[in-house]
Amino acid sequence: MNIWHEISQDRIHADSFFAVIEIPKGCKTKYEMDKETGFLSMDRILYTSAHYPANYGFIPRTYAADHDPLDVLLLCSEDVQPLSLVQCYPIGVISMDDGGFVDDKIIAIPFGDPTFNEYRGIDELPAHIFDEMMHFFAIYKELEGKVTAVDYIRSADDAKRIVQESIDAYNEKFGDKDN
């Protein structure tokens, strides 16, 4: 099963979706879903001493501007195991330039975590959580000789719009029929 394509489209909406976790919070190993098989593939060990500040993954049945599924940062009180499905909702988006591509990171909260599930907007986050995310994406490829630039932060409404645009782009590229 390739989770990018084979999850029911009924489970992916702009305001509520299942995210697939690739990298647990605190990890330095960069895993990515292999687009052909749906398995996780180790891309690299980060060249920096920084680690992922949140659980990181993607939203199935989406197609983003960087030609990958739409990225998601899941704020959760626990580390989430890779390939776990987590039902969540967006509270904002970090938009960045990564190698000339717009690379949006949807910031999401799991419905099932009482520590975080009262947050509805990115502006409600404690400043340090937000600062850690921003710092990580500003420097995490620096020692590889690559440049990333965090362009701006946007609201929950903007995040929902980007998720919907990525769902629409997926349907246009791959078809909107449920598997």
Q: Which residue ranges make up the annotated binding site for Mg(2+)?
A: 66, 71, 103
Question: In 10 A of CB 50, how many CB atoms?
Answer: 17
Spatial contact of 73 and 166, defined as CB atoms under 8 Å apart: no
* DSSP SS3 for 124: helix
Q: Indicate the residue type of 26.
A: G
φ/ψ of 25, rounded to 5, equals -55, 140
Residue positions in the annotated binding site? 30, 44, 56, 66, 71, 103, 140
Query: Which residue ranges make up the annotated binding site for substrate?
Result: 30, 44, 56, 140
CB 1 within 8 A of CB 38: yes
CA angle 114, 118, 124 (to 5 degrees): 130
